[in-house]
Amino acid sequence: MRRISVFGATGSIGVNTLDLIARRPDAFDVVALSGGRNVALLAELAIRHRAEIAVTAFEECLPNLRDALSGTGIETAAGSDAVTEAAGRPADWTMSAIVGAAGLPPGLKALEQGGTLALANKESLVCAGPLMLETARRHGSTILPVDSEHSAVFQALLGEDIAKVERVIITASGGAFRDWSIERMARATPEEAASHPNWDMGQRITIDSASMFNKALELIETHEYFGITPDRIEALFHPESMIHAMVGFCDGGLMAHIGPADMRHAIGFALNHPHREPLPVERLDFAKLGQFTFRAPDEVKYPALRLAREVMQAGGHNGAVFNAAKEAALDAFIDRRIGFPQMAEAVEKVLVKLSSSHLGKGAMTLDTVLDADARARVAAAEIIAAL
Ligand code: NAD
Ligand code: MG
* pLDDT attached to residue 356: 72
Q: Is the CB of 151 within 6 Å of ligand 1?
A: no
Which residues make beta-bridge pairs with 243?
258
What is the residue-wise DSSP string for 97-149? ---SGGGHHHHHHHHTT-SEEEE--HHHHHHHHHHHHHHHHHHT-EEEE-SHH
The Å distance, Cα 310 to ligand 1 centre, comes to 26
Q: How far apart are CA 273 and CA 267, in angstroms?
A: 10
Q: Which atom of ligand 1 is nearest to the CA of 83?
A: 20
Q: Is the CB of 97 within 6 Å of ligand 1?
A: yes
CB atoms within 10 A of CB 141: 17
Q: Is the CB of 122 within 6 Å of ligand 1?
A: yes
**Atom 27 (ligand 1) nearest CA:** 99
- Identify residue 99 by its one-letter amino acid code: V
Q: What is the mean pLDDT of the chain?
A: 97
Which residues make beta-bridge pairs with 35?
56
Q: How far apart are CA 46 and CA 57, in angstroms?
A: 15
Average pLDDT over residues 157-170: 98
Whether pLDDT at 244 is above 70: yes
Q: Is the CB of 35 within 6 Å of ligand 1?
A: yes
Which of the ligands is closest to the CA of residue 201? 1
In this structure, are residues 307 and 358 in contact, taking their beta carbons and an 8 Å threshold? no
In this structure, are residues 313 and 365 in contact, taking their beta carbons and an 8 Å threshold? no
Q: How far apart are CA 224 and CA 241, in angstroms?
A: 23
pLDDT digits (tens, 9 = 90+) for 299-339: 999 999 999 999 999 999 999 999 999 999 999 999 999 99
Whether pLDDT at 360 is above 70: no
DSSP-assigned letter for residue 184:
H
pLDDT digits (tens, 9 = 90+) for 94-144: 999 999 999 999 999 999 999 999 999 999 999 999 999 999 999 999 999
Domains of the chain, each with CATH number or no CATH = 2-145 (3.40.50.720), 151-315 (no CATH)
Q: What are phi and psi of 147, to 5 degrees?
A: -55, 135
Q: Is the CB of 6 within 6 Å of ligand 1?
A: no
CB atoms within 10 A of CB 129: 20
pLDDT digits (tens, 9 = 90+) for 254-265: 999 999 999 999
The best mutation among 6, 7, 13 to test binding of ligand 1, ranked by most ligand atoms within 8 Å of the C-beta, falls on 13
Q: How far apart are CA 243 and CA 361, in angstroms?
A: 38
Q: How far apart are CA 377 and CA 78, in angstroms?
A: 24
Least confident of 19-23, 199-203, 317-321, 376-380: 199-203
Nearest to 225 by CA among 124, 105, 370, 327: 124
* pLDDT attached to residue 205: 96
Q: Which H helix or E strand runs over 234?
A: strand 233-237
The Å distance, Cα 89 to ligand 2 centre, comes to 28
Q: How far apart are CA 363 and CA 346, in angstroms?
A: 27
| CB neighbour class for 345 (10 Å; exposed up to 12, middle 13-18, buried from 19) | middle
